[in-house]
Amino acid sequence: MLAPVIQTLTRKFTSTGVASIAICLSLSALPANAEGELDKSARLTDDNVALIYHQISGESAPVADMIIKPENKRFENEFEKRRFVKEAWPAFEQRAKDALAHDAYYVQFNTRLGDYDFDKEQFPVAGIYSSYMYFDYDADDAGSDGLDYAVQIVNPGDVKFLKMSPDEAEALMGRLGSDRAIKVRMWLVPIQPVEAGWVKLKDDIFRTFNTQATRVEVMDRDANFIAEIDSGIKAVNAVKPVSDNPIKMPDFSNPWSAENRSEALLDYYDWVVTEQYKLSSSGNGKSFEEAMSLRGAAASGCTAKFGYSQCMRLSEARSHVIDQCASEIKPPRTPQCYKLQYVPYSSNEADAD
């Protein structure tokens, strides 16, 4: 779910250009520029942020869960579940492709104009910062698991200010009222080359991809167009899936109970045990082990999900799995076995116990 508060980071971004503004300030009724007239698939939601991230990062996606969980489906048995996923797969595969098909993507939120600056003849747009900013999205709502997602914007300072003359500004104040409430639609393009990985934002780790803001549409509370702030960055479709596309028909086998369990687990968790997650800590330092502990590998996370007794059994079983893996897997892959101790406990693992 889109966070109600846009977070700022401590790193500063130096603006490279002056934003230009197209303004329409007639006090007469303006044609609505409502979301219903847009291609809604270009909006960054929990679902398509997850689809974009997994396709451009290479991190394997829990496709079956991403199909089932948003539908709140319940099944009598695993055969019904498998049948449903197979039937839904073609539509899901197309949806994954569609998520990458846009030249730009948008986020939309309610905010207000700040106090007019008579010297610079501009309004600051509250909630848009001069430094880095991001929107976060819930993994569970996307049907995913593990870390939540974030879309980071590296140039918000380019679209922060709405320039206009004092006369136009006063007329706008009469139109908006004392609360100066506005709607903002910010259009974003992923940075080329696309950057995706795990990033520490404040005190948490997110799966993240970076974007630049191309323009901001400023509207009144009824979604009537007021002005457009242009960053000068052109919208270019830079989003390309990795060659080994992780959006593929799921394998319904359970790697925790496979005959070749050690190899199956390393293959299943390949993106994390080989440290392909490209963790960027923004200078604050954060290890893979700490990131995993935030999402359920720690005892508190396991207990909350499975209960104390089951977690004790899972912990003991996990130790045996790691020992078995380390004895069976040959170098140079052997060290990957020890990374399994930080993978969050799952229902698949519990069912195999």
19/159 Cα distance (integer angstroms): 6
Does residue 180 share a domain with residue 144? yes
163/46 Cα distance (integer angstroms): 33
Amino acid at 230: D
Amino acid at 140: D
Query: What average pLDDT does the segment 196-218 reach?
Result: 88
Which is more confident, 9 or 62? 62
Q: Report the pLDDT value the prediction gives residue 291, as an integer from 0 to 100.
A: 62
Does residue 325 share a domain with residue 192? no
Per-residue tokens: 244: 């080994």
Confidence tier at 116 by pLDDT (50, 70, 90): very high
Confidence tier at 300 by pLDDT (50, 70, 90): low
| pLDDT digits 0-9 by tens, 12-49 | 333 333 333 333 333 333 334 444 466 778 999 999 99
Amino acid at 283: G
**In total, how many domains does the chain have?**
2
Its sign, for the CA torsion 315, 319, 320, 321, is: positive
Does residue 226 share a domain with residue 149? yes
208/136 Cα distance (integer angstroms): 9
pLDDT at residue 9 is higher than 90:
no
Does residue 97 share a domain with residue 28? yes
Contact of 93 with 247, CB cutoff 8 Å: yes
Question: Which residues form the domain of 298?
Answer: 257-275+285-342
| pLDDT digits 0-9 by tens, 302-340 | 887 788 899 889 989 999 999 999 999 999 999 999 989
Does residue 221 share a domain with residue 261? no
Does residue 216 share a domain with residue 144? yes
Does residue 166 share a domain with residue 262? no
